[in-house]
Each structure stands twice: as structure tokens, then as C-alpha cells.
């Protein structure tokens, strides 16, 4: 089998190595130049995998049986279009990796926001209950990187993106979760209908023995729902007939057909803050319950879980001011949840690469924000939108923004870095951006 891996980032490299170990004739192609890929090239050479950087040449497509796409490779990329014209099979790294471990229990989690937290929390609940579980996918480690080391009873908890789901064929999770749907990645999917359709592919191959967990409060999600063969359960802030919901300060599990209604815990006992984290906790708890985890284990885990890096991460308290890193907030909706998670006055650091409608945040900003510090490509747009509503500043770098926040913040306030934008104008990714923020905060005196 002759295959081409498109993309040399983490998932591309790991799928190339996996394919090589499985006996494929592998070629890797990457459109970016090789300067950023020194470590990658060393590994490719070690595994004797031929490669090219800075182009997608004819070699990438001639006499190939399979194309494996890294997340984010656009559907109109010339290489992809040519492969389709030649009737070459095209699949995602997610599809390819699952084929190599078809028997492991699989929980797959998607949605516009909350995927990483829910994936990490689900893994945490399962492991705290004594089960073998490993988180992978968009959370940092590709599924292709862990396939070789899985034991037969290890539960895979995978954060999956619309990019990955767009190119699946037989991928079928035992439990699938769609947390929410808001406009995102439209540069790739072109329309909301196509974006929603890509998300629902997570359940495309499920049958009545599998479970699909949906957010009953997300009207856009439910409106776009196709015909589903899987068994469905819901998360909600109102009672549902089957699923996990929060009402009157309590988390309740209910299955009307089974005549089950059980109180799990109080919502105030969930350790991670914010309404969005109630939803994330409900989804994780419901998935864990479906994997036969007891209520006590679910409760104890939700009371102990501290969250994930770069998502509402408390970095430091200095002179009574708390600094929060929410670098993973790459869209307006994620920032809405972040701003809504705190009752103290907020100094908001925002900006990056985006094409956003910030009017969705007007009401929250008026209620909670006392100053905005704008950075990056969106700094002028953010400044101009909010300057008539709240004190606004512009700074050339994130480090300067942290210094400005230090100068204006007073005891009892929060400095919240929740960009609402992508990171690629100034940083390699949101992780790099978050590390720069944390380093700047830790250097304050």
C-alpha cells in the first residue's frame, strides 16, 4: 500500500510513523518550508520515511493508493482536488488511527468549545474510578501516537475536530459527544450547514448499541441534527427525560424509561468555575456513567478536577489581583463563557487574528469589564468597538499588555487573558501564546 501523509505537524508525523510500522510505503509532504521542522526531519530520517517540504509535488500523488490528511488541510487544496479527480482514497489521521485499534472502547468528544476540558475531565473520572483510560486527539497527543502502546481494555477518550471528522469513513465511537455548535472554521467549511454536518459525522456510523450525547439547550445543534441511529442522551440546565442535567443547584441523572432519577452532587461542588464548565461536567459525567462508573466516583472526581492548561487557568495572585490564562479561547463564544465565569471586576486582555463580531459581548463587557487591553491584528477593531463603552488601551505585544494590566489593576480585580481570536498573528499556537502570558505574569514584581 502506497500512501502520502499530508502535513508534518504532530498528527502528520505520528501517522507517518504508524503507517511505516504497519508496512505501508510512506511519503510525507508539507507545504511549509523545513526550517520549523528540524526535529520532525530527524524522526523521518530515523524511520526511513521519504519527505518533501515547501511544496506538494507530483511525487505526493503519483501511484498512490491512499492520502492521509492532517487536520486543517483545506478541501480545496490542489493536492486534495487532484487526488479526488484520480479517485484516490482520502481519509483523516483520525480514521487511519482508529483502523489500527478497532477494538478499544472509544469515547469521542467534539463541539465548538469545551472539547479539551471535557476530554481531560472524562479521562480523569475514568482513571479515578480505576479504569484504564487515555486522552488523545486535539488535546495534544494524536491517536496515531498512542496506538502501539494500548492495552486491549484501555478506553480511548479522543478530542476530535470538524477537520478530522470531515474525512472519516468507518470511524464509529462507542460514545460520541457534541457539546455545542457556534460559528467557527467557516474559512474551511464555507457554510454553517457544512460545519454542523461535519460535527454530526461523529455519529455517522453509530448504531443503536452506541450512545450519542447532545446538548439539549443548544438550538443550533438540535436544528441541524440529521437522522440518528444511535441511542441519544442529553445534557441540560433543565430536566430531560434521559441524561444528566443541572437544576435547583443539583446535578441529576435521569432515565425515564428505566425509572431512574438520582442526585449526583450539588453544582456548587464542581471545582472548575463557570456555567460552561457545568455543561462540560455534565457531559463527562454522563459518558462516565455510560462506562459503568459509580455516582460516588463521578462526584469525587468533579470535586477534585482542577481544569486544563490554558483554559481559565489561575496563574498567580499578586497584590490581591488574580491573573487568569484563557489562551485557548480562540473565538468570541469561548470568551463569552470566560467573561461570564467571574463576579469580580475584570481587566480583559484580548486580540489576535480574527474576523469577529464583538457585539455579542457588549452586554457582558458592560456588566463585568472595567478595562480592555487590545493586542494583535484585531487590536484596532476591538479598541474601536469598545472604546465608547469602557476604558480601552492598545499594546504592541502581549508582554506589554501584561505590564499595562499590572499598572492599572487594583486589589480584588481579575486580569483575564481570553483573546477571542486565533493566535497565528504573533504566536505558533494557543499553547505558545499561553506560555508567553504566564511567563510575563510570573516575571511581574
3-state secondary structure (DSSP) of residue 14: helix
Burial of 187 (0-12, 13-18, 19+ CB in 10 A): exposed
Q: At CA 11, angle to CA 6 and CA 12, rounded to 5?
A: 25
pLDDT at residue 184 above 90? no
- pLDDT tens digit sequence for 83-122: 999 999 999 999 999 999 999 999 999 998 889 999 999 9
- Among 204, 212, 203, smallest CA distance to 287 is for 212
Which residues in 239-288 belong to E strands, given as ranges?
242-247, 250-255, 260-266
| CA 124 to chain CA centroid, nearest Å | 16
- What confidence score (pLDDT) does residue 177 get? 98
**Sheet of strand 211-215, all strands in order from the earlier edge strand to the far edge:** 133-137, 155-159, 106-110, 175-178, 211-215, 231-236, 242-247, 250-255, 260-266
The region of weakest confidence among 227-236, 292-301, 371-380, 426-435 is: 426-435
- What confidence score (pLDDT) does residue 234 get? 98
Q: Average pLDDT of 16-23?
A: 97
Residue 190 C-alpha cell reads as 464555507
Rounded distance, CA 430 to CA 348, Å?
A: 17
Which segment, 111-115, 135-139, 161-165, 319-323, is predicted with the most confidence on average? 319-323
pTM for this one?
0.82
pLDDT at residue 55 above 90? yes
Residue 299 C-alpha cell reads as 462526584
- What confidence score (pLDDT) does residue 188 get? 61
- What confidence score (pLDDT) does residue 123 get? 98
Mean pLDDT estimate for the chain: 94
- pLDDT tens digit sequence for 22-45: 999 999 999 999 988 999 999 999
pLDDT at residue 281 above 70? yes
- pLDDT tens digit sequence for 186-199: 566 668 888 899 89
pLDDT at residue 353 above 70? yes
Q: Average pLDDT of 376-389?
A: 96
- pLDDT tens digit sequence for 393-423: 999 999 999 999 999 999 999 999 999 999 9
Rounded distance, CA 49 to CA 52, Å?
A: 10
Amino acid at each position: 500500500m502506497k500512501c502520502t501523509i499530508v502535513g508534518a505537524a504532530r498528527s502528520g508525523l505520528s501517522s507517518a510513523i504508524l503507517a511505516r510500522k504497519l508496512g505501508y510505503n510512506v511519503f510525507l509532504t508539507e507545504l511549509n518550508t523545513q526550517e520549523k521542522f528540524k526535529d520532525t526531519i530527524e524522526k523521518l530520517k530515523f524511520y526511513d520515511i521519504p519527505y518533501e517540504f515547501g511544496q506538494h509535488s507530483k511525487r505526493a500523488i503519483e501511484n498512490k493508493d491512499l492520502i492521509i490528511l492532517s487536520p486543517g488541510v483545506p478541501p480545496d487544496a490542489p493536492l486534495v482536488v487532484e487526488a479526488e479527480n484520480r479517485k484516490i482514497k482520502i481519509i483523516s489521521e483520525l480514521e487511519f488511527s482508529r483502523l489500527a485499534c478497532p477494538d478499544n472502547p472509544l469515547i469521542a468528544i467534539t463541539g465548538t468549545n469545551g472539547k479539551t476540558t471535557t476530554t481531560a475531565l472524562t479521562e480523569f473520572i475514568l482513571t479515578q474510578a480505576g479504569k484504564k483510560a487515555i486522552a488523545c486527539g486535539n488535546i495534544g497527543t494524536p491517536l496515531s501516537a498512542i496506538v502501539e502502546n494500548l492495552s486491549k481494555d484501555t478506553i480511548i477518550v479522543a478530542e476530535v475536530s470538524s477537520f478530522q471528522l470531515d474525512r472519516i469513513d468507518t470511524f464509529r465511537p462507542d460514545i460520541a459527544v457534541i457539546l455545542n455548535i457556534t460559528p467557527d472554521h467557516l474559512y474551511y467549511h464555507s457554510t454553517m450547514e457544512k460545519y454542523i454536518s461535519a460535527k454530526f459525522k461523529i455519529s455517522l456510523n453509530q448504531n443503536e448499541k452506541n450512545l450519542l450525547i447532545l446538548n439539549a439547550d443548544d438550538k443550533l445543534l438540535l436544528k441541524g441534527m440529521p437522522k440518528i441511529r444511535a441511542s441519544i442522551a442529553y445534557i441540560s440546565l433543565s430536566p430531560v427525560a434521559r441524561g444528566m442535567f443541572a437544576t435547583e443547584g443539583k446535578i441529576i441523572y435521569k432515565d425515564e424509561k428505566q425509572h431512574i432519577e438520582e442526585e449526583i452532587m450539588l453544582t456548587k461542588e464542581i471545582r472548575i468555575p463557570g456555567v460552561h464548565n457545568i455543561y462540560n461536567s455534565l457531559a463527562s459525567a454522563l459518558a462516565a456513567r455510560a462506562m459503568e462508573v459509580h455516582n460516588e466516583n463521578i462526584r469525587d472526581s468533579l470535586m477534585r478536577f482542577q481544569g486544563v492548561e490554558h483554559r481559565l487557568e489561575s496563574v498567580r495572585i499578586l497584590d490581591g489581583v488574580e491573573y487568569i490564562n484563557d489562551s485557548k479561547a480562540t473565538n468570541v463564544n469561548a470568551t463569552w463563557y470566560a467573561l461570564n465565569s467571574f463576579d469580580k471586576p475584570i481587566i480583559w486582555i484580548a486580540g489576535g487574528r480574527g474576523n469577529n463580531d464583538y457585539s455579542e459581548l457588549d452586554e457582558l463587557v458592560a456588566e463585568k469589564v472595567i478595562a480592555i487591553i487590545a493586542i494583535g491584528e484585531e487590536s484596532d477593531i476591538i479598541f474601536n468597538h469598545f472604546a465608547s463603552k469602557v476604558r480601552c488601551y492598545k499594546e504592541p505585544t502581549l508582554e506589554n499588555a501584561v505590564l499595562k494590566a499590572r499598572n492599572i489593576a487594583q486589589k480584588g480585580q481579575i486580569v483575564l487573558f481570553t483573546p477571542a481570536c486565533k493566535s497565528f498573528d504573533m504566536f505558533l499556537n494557543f499553547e505558545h501564546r499561553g506560555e508567553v502570558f504566564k511567563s510575563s505574569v510570573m516575571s511581574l514584581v
